[in-house]
Amino acid sequence: MSGLRTCITLLAILLLALSCNQGRSEAKTESTQAAAVDIEPAAGGGSPMNVVCTTALIAEIARAIGDEHANVTLIIPAGTDPHSYVASDADRQAIASAQLVLSNGLGLEAGLAPELELARQAGTLVEVTNEIDNDRLMATNAYGGQYDPHVWLDVELWRKVSDTVRNALLALDPAQDGYFASRYADYYMDLMKLDTRMLDLGSSLTDSQRVLVTNIHGSSYLARTNRFELMAMTKDDIAELAQQQKIDGLADYLVERNVPAVFLDGNVPADRIEALQTACRERGLELANVSGLQMDGLPDEAAGFHATLLGEMRRIVIALGADLTLLDKVWQEEDAS
């Protein structure tokens, strides 16, 4: 299994490299035009681009691909809620003076809407999700039927985002085509490895274990990719837990499905979680609550997307009953080869 997976990964990277090389002979690819239609090439040449990124996840991609050719400024600090962050005066100045502003889009940075609109009008804004097909985006009740912006929880979609970032950097500095292509291929390979291992972790669960009860943002993407049966709890669902009838109904469901753990964060009152655990215990089920999952972004910039997402997925599947002994051995063999 290890050898076959490695061969598939190497073949995909080879095809990617060939694709990147082919793109060097073209003035602009169609995807570049779509990603950065208003971005003008930087004047002067030789100097690093001034790139502003709204989130640490996007900044990681920009730094990985742009490297020494991009001075990257992060607006929303890692570990901060991107939904409610409001720009400081320094943030406004950074966005206004940037040659390229990379945002997630889909309403993630709602508090930055005025500043991002000015960047759009200036022709410097690229929303990194704008090349993802709408049929791959998830519309959920948690967002009033609008698209869920947490697309990084589907690594396949995040690979598309990395492509958009590469194209935006290339549009700004076409002279670095070959450099960006090489850096992009390295980052893309890391995302492919992450995607494979996320799927490995999901597959470590039996069908009956694959039940995810959570109020984690973006859980719809995680559930779709890993074939979880999802009970995504909205603010209204959480409010209804004040009623014992709702607690009992949820406990009945968890006991019927023999679900050993739920994933409820600090937005769910502690006494409601305790009431749910008590109701399950009375029905013969010991229920754990796994809180503090880092799914809404990077806890800190040093953590890295790959390690953070893989680590949180491990916590989920272990809590749901997975035995990772054999899988860890396979991964160790892959990493050693």
> Domain tally for the chain?
2
Calculate the dihedral angle through the C-alpha atoms of 13, 307, 219, 217, rounding to the nearest 10 degrees: -120
Asked if 82 and 116 count as a contact pair (C-beta separation under 8 A), the reply is no
143 and 67 within one domain: yes
Give the mean pLDDT per block of 10 residues along the chain (337 residues).
48 47 38 47 74 98 98 96 95 98 97 98 98 94 82 97 98 96 98 98 97 94 96 94 97 98 96 98 98 88 93 97 98 95
Whether residue 195 lies inside any domain: the answer is no
151 and 209 within one domain: no
Strands (E) located in 107-248: 125-127, 211-214, 229-232
Whether residue 158 lies inside any domain: the answer is yes
Whether residue 12 lies inside any domain: the answer is no
148 and 52 within one domain: yes
Token reading at 102: 């990379």
Whether residue 20 lies inside any domain: the answer is no
103 and 167 within one domain: yes
Whether residue 187 lies inside any domain: the answer is no
* Predicted pLDDT of residue 137: 97
206 and 170 within one domain: no
162 and 37 within one domain: yes
Q: How far apart are CA 271 and CA 266, in angstroms?
A: 11
Whether residue 8 lies inside any domain: the answer is no
CA 129 to chain centre: 11
205 and 164 within one domain: no
Which structural domain, as residue segments, surrounds residue 139? 30-176
* Predicted pLDDT of residue 45: 60
What are the backbone angles phi and psi of residue 53, rounded to the nearest 5°?
Answer: -120, 135
Token reading at 251: 């406990």
* Predicted pLDDT of residue 41: 67
Q: What is the pLDDT of residues 225-252, one digit of tens each?
A: 999 999 999 999 999 999 999 999 999 9
125 and 210 within one domain: no
CA 313 to chain centre: 12
CATH code of the domain in which 64 resides: 3.40.50.1980
CA 268 to chain centre: 23
* Predicted pLDDT of residue 263: 98
207 and 111 within one domain: no
219 and 156 within one domain: no
Return the closest-CA partner of residue 220 out of 305, 308, 137, 322.
Answer: 137
- Sign for the CA dihedral angle at 238, 239, 243, 249 comes to negative
332 and 209 within one domain: yes
Whether residue 207 lies inside any domain: the answer is yes
241 and 166 within one domain: no
Whether residue 249 lies inside any domain: the answer is yes
Q: What is the pLDDT of residues 266-285, one digit of tens each?
A: 999 999 999 999 999 999 99
